[in-house]
Amino acid sequence: MNTTDDPKVSLENDLSSDTLERQLRDYVNITKKLIWQRQASFLAAMILSAFYFDPALALVCYSGLLFSEVLDLVLTRRVQRWEGNDPVAARRFLLWVMVNTGLSAVMISLFVLLIAIQQNSGGHFMPLFFLFAAALFAAMNNHQILPSLILRLMIYGATFLTISVMDIVRLRPPLDSHHWLEFFTVAFVLYFIVDCSFVFLKLYRKGLKQLQKIKLEHDRAKRAYEIKSQFLSTMSHELRTPLTSIKFSLDLMNSGCVAQVPDDLKPILEIAVKNSNRLAELINETLDLQKIESGEMIFRFQSLDISRVVSESVDAIMAQANAEQIEVRKEFPEDEVFINGDEARIQQVLGNLLSNALKFSEAGGVITVRVEQNNDRVRVSVQDTGTGIPENCEAQVFGRFSQVDSSDRRKVGGTGLGMNISKRIIERHNGTIHYKSRLGEGTTFFLEFDLKRQPERNHDAAQDWSGGADRHLGEGRMVAGE
């Protein structure tokens, strides 16, 4: 026999603290959800029994059912307020469920039993139907807690048999009479209800096991992610210290302050400087990514003139642009345009966009940087005339450790983190970042922010974005995660 089908093993599993807590919460949730369906059924049964039988007995039984419903409602509210992780409280709630189950089942059974007694002859269709409906309702909706289900089925089963045996004991009919037929029919119905109950119970347990398995896998993945994050953070910090010394020494040698560098060593030294810069960039971006994902990155928001911030970012790459014979144009509005942002983080994003534009532009290319205002929004765009980005590459462009051209033969290197970090930084500013591109013509990246109005600001000169930047779109670029 499979251990999952062993009642003893099943009961032990049900009473484990974690499983019991989940079952209690499922039980009270379905109890609360179906409260009005139960009330409608009880009220209809009370009205019918009061009209055709004894009104006083019907009212008394209905009052008992309402009392058990009130207890269930109180239990539901307490379990929903319960913080969990308390085995003692869980078993106390289980005892409460058992008491409520017993009270409710006894009142329903007493209700239908009194109706059957008041009938002068056999054929107890009405009480048996009421009891069948109550038992089927329990099988479908109260199967979360096995001890409670067994208790309810035992009470209902005893009532079923009592009603069917009652006429046999009183009348002692022959075996071929309809009284015996009713008895065998009731026995069959009772078996059907028990079978349905355990079918629903198995389905519930299957779903519960799947949920527990998913939770276990989630916890494992979370622990693995935390270990990975801690490893990357530790590794990055440990690498940064010696790399800083190496980079400083290389820069000092390259500057000629220590001694004149021989001509045959200059190319080697330049390669070393370039690779140390790339390694420093990788370490810094890895640390930034870990800070963002852990919520530890600090943002210092203040009122910023975005035109000034963009202009300073452009000035920072002008020397490199001139060296690579790439023209950089600035198109800013005459008035100041303010946003609420972290200047250092926005410059980090702009530096990444401008660096990418330089990487993917050939000599003689043009990079155009614009700042535009349209009503309550501010747009910053960086347009290049580079190689462009293929269609449907958004996931690679803004993904982690990903690039559109991820082959070993790509012309431009990078960590594959820059655009992902930029996207997260802009989202922390309640802004958006996106791009438009035509392969072989160039790319335009857009940053959009909410405008921060100043008291003495004149806003009559807002532009329409449908013109301007989009008309210059002959763009695109083979960049992705950089």
Q: pLDDT-derived band of residue 461, with 50, 70 and 90 as boundaries?
A: very low
Region of poorest pLDDT, from 133-142, 306-315, 318-327: 133-142
Where helices occur in 302-383 by DSSP H, the ranges are: 306-316, 318-323, 343-359
What is the spatial distance between Cα 398 and Cα 392, in angstroms, rounded to a whole number? 12
Average pLDDT over residues 453-471: 52
- What is the pLDDT of the chain when averaged over all its residues? 79
Tell me the CB-side half-sphere exposure of residue 31, using CA atoms within 13 A.
27
| Domains of the chain with bracketed CATH | 3-222 (no CATH), 302-472 (3.30.565.10)
**How far is CA 313 from each of CA 33, 59, 410, rounded to the nearest angstrom?**
58, 82, 27
What is the spatial distance between Cα 105 and Cα 165, in angstroms, rounded to a whole number? 20
What is the spatial distance between Cα 146 and Cα 151, in angstroms, rounded to a whole number? 9
Tell me the CB-side half-sphere exposure of residue 435, using CA atoms within 13 A.
34
Average pLDDT over residues 196-207: 80
Block residue for tokens 């820069």:
251
Q: pLDDT-derived band of residue 425, with 50, 70 and 90 as boundaries?
A: very high
Q: What pLDDT is recorded for position 84? A: 77
Beta bridge partners of 330: 369
> pLDDT exceeding 90 applies to what percent of the chain?
20
What is the spatial distance between Cα 384 and Cα 369, in angstroms, rounded to a whole number? 9
Q: Which of 177, 140, 123 is nearest to 37 (CA)?
A: 140
Where helices occur in 119-177 by DSSP H, the ranges are: 125-141, 146-171
pLDDT at 72 over 60: yes
Q: What pLDDT is recorded for position 479? A: 33
What is the spatial distance between Cα 407 and Cα 111, in angstroms, rounded to a whole number? 78
Region of poorest pLDDT, from 268-282, 341-355, 368-382, 468-482: 468-482
**How far is CA 78 from each of CA 25, 81, 84, rounded to the nearest angstrom?**
10, 5, 11
Q: Which residues does 36 contact at the CB level (< 8 Å), separation at least 6? A: none
Q: What pLDDT is recorded for position 408? A: 42
Q: What pLDDT is recorded for position 71? A: 85
Average pLDDT over residues 13-34: 74
pLDDT at 32 over 60: yes
> pLDDT exceeding 70 applies to what percent of the chain?
86
Average pLDDT over residues 208-213: 82
Q: What pLDDT is recorded for position 467? A: 47
Q: What pLDDT is recorded for position 405? A: 57
Angle, to 10 degrees, between the axis of helix 125-141 and the axis of helix 178-255?
A: 20
Q: pLDDT-derived band of residue 410, with 50, 70 and 90 as boundaries?
A: very low
**How far is CA 145 from each of CA 2, 46, 211, 272, rounded to the nearest angstrom?**
20, 28, 16, 68
374's tokens: 């349209």
pLDDT at 377 over 60: yes
Cα angle 451-454-460, degrees, rounded to a multiple of 5:
70
Q: Higher pLDDT residue, 440 or 9?
A: 440
Supply φ then ψ for residue 371, to 5 degrees.
Answer: -125, 125
443's tokens: 């790319």
Q: pLDDT-derived band of residue 109, with 50, 70 and 90 as boundaries?
A: confident
233's tokens: 């953070």
The continuous run of DSSP H or E covering 450 comes out as strand 442-450
3-state DSSP assignment of residue 462: coil
Q: Which residues does 249 contact at the CB level (< 8 Å), separation at least 6? A: none
Q: What pLDDT is recorded for position 480? A: 32
Average pLDDT over residues 435-441: 89
pLDDT at 243 over 70: yes
